[in-house]
Amino acid sequence: MSRIALSLSFLLLLAGCGDSNQGFEPGDDRYPVVTDPPPEYGEPVTEASGAVVTRPVKPTEHETEPSPSCERRPYKSGSGDGLIVVPPRPGLTATAVSKRSVEVSWLFAEVPRDCRPASMLVSIVANDATGATPTTVMVPYTGQTGKTMLEYPEFLPPPDVALVSAFMKHGQRSRTAKVLIRR
């Protein structure tokens, strides 16, 4: 077999493997490069204990739209910097079913095979409550739409913010969608 035929066979074999690179295609420019701005924080608050705390600024919307398709995110490593393909940012809505129970729903506009998630990271939190931590679950990705129910602990104020992001099986993570919980 000639060297050209062998090279072509190898190229066709790689093309037939589909998502075998799992998003690590450095020259892939089919998807936009995205970066999240640094998080915004509210004014520092001094607690009775003397501790000074800041909380993330609460979102103002009850719904986010999904990004159109896969995205590329910059990364840094010891061997250099680059771009990786990540899942689209999901669209998100969250509705309180009771004081502490929240149904979180997400959707995707398009999920090409290159960036198909394996799981969804879903959280709810009492955003402005000092010391409140999120309740977070990882649920399997089951298609372009999904939802799950989360229960927030009794010892914390009711949750008011929901967050969701998508993970590929090797850890590539989408941008995080964040909304106010509808009551």
pTM of the prediction?
0.82
pLDDT along the chain (183 residues), means of 10: 41 38 55 90 89 91 97 92 95 98 97 96 94 95 97 97 97 97 97
Task: Sketch out the chain's domains with CATH numbers.
Answer: 22-180 (2.60.40.10)
Half-sphere exposure of 181 (CA within 13 A, CB side): 27
Give me the pLDDT at residue 4, please: 43
Is residue 87 within 8 A of residue 166, CB to CB? The reply is yes
Cα–Cα distances in angstroms (integers) from residue 4 to residues 11, 12, 14, 96, 175, in the given order: 10, 12, 15, 62, 41
